[in-house]
Chain A
Amino acid sequence: GAVVSQHPSWVICKSGTSVKIECRSLDFQATTMFWYRQFPKQSLMLMATSNEGSKATYEQGVEKDKFLINHASLTLSTLTVTSAHPEDSSFYICSAREGVLQETQYFGPGTRLLVL
């Protein structure tokens, strides 16, 4: 089946730094990618939807200037957490929708971010 990878799998950074998380579709072209965030013992919450070559659509309450999303190619989307703070510590998961089989989304393994 189709595979979505994320890099890094975990990252620890100091408060105030920026962190970039990559989401890649390994064997298919992803016209749309989704970024979710999961706080401890909570469910996944959609942050934004990114379409290749266009601006991301952010969910209500998500700061677009803080969470920069770039979907420059059909196989790569990046999420940059700018000026990260401890409250940004979370589990970030991406999913990718295959362009042809539109009904199927594939989820990445997630990236755990800890901001000290």
Chain B
Amino acid sequence: KQEVTQIPAALSVPEGENLVLNCSFTDSAIYNLQWFRQDPGKGLTSLLLIQSSQREQTSGRLNASLDKSSGRSTLYIAASQPGDSATYLCAVRPSGTYKYIFGTGTRLKVLA
């Protein structure tokens, strides 16, 4: 059974700092992995999607990497801003399915 874990559960950093959020999954048989942002009481915003054949994806200040064999992904946020404060969710799509298995989330707070 696929399980997705995110570390740390919460993180508080000063503005301008570079930071890394971690995601691990137990079954390497995945089709893709996606990082989402969720603001309090809101829905999901897709940030980056990495196919199983890819090693990384970049969008602006965000960079996500994928090491499928070791069951790990990282989301790197450069020059963090208070507007980056949110919960970041990692989700994997197991091979052969269309559903996503979500991680436990990392609550990020960037202090001005």
Contact = CB atoms under 8 A, between A and B. Distances in A.
Contact of A103 (B32, B99, B101, B102): B32
B46 interface: yes
Contact residue range for chain B?
10 to 19
Main secondary structure of the interface of A (DSSP, over half): strand
Interface in B24-78: 32, 36, 41-44, 46, 49, 51
A: contact size bracket? 20 to 34
A44 B44 CA distance: 10
A64 interface: no
Interface string B66-104: 000000000000000000000001010000001111111
A67 interface: no
B28 to A, nearest CB: 19
Given A43-B104, A97-B98, A105-B100, A112 B41 contact: yes
A81 interface: no
B54 to A, nearest CB: 12
Interface of A: 6, 32, 34, 36, 42-46, 49, 91, 93, 95, 97, 102-105, 107-110, 112
Which 10 A-B pairs have CB atoms at the shortest separation, nearest pair first? A109-B43, A110-B43, A44-B102, A107-B44, A43-B102, A43-B104, A46-B99, A43-B105, A97-B98, A32-B98
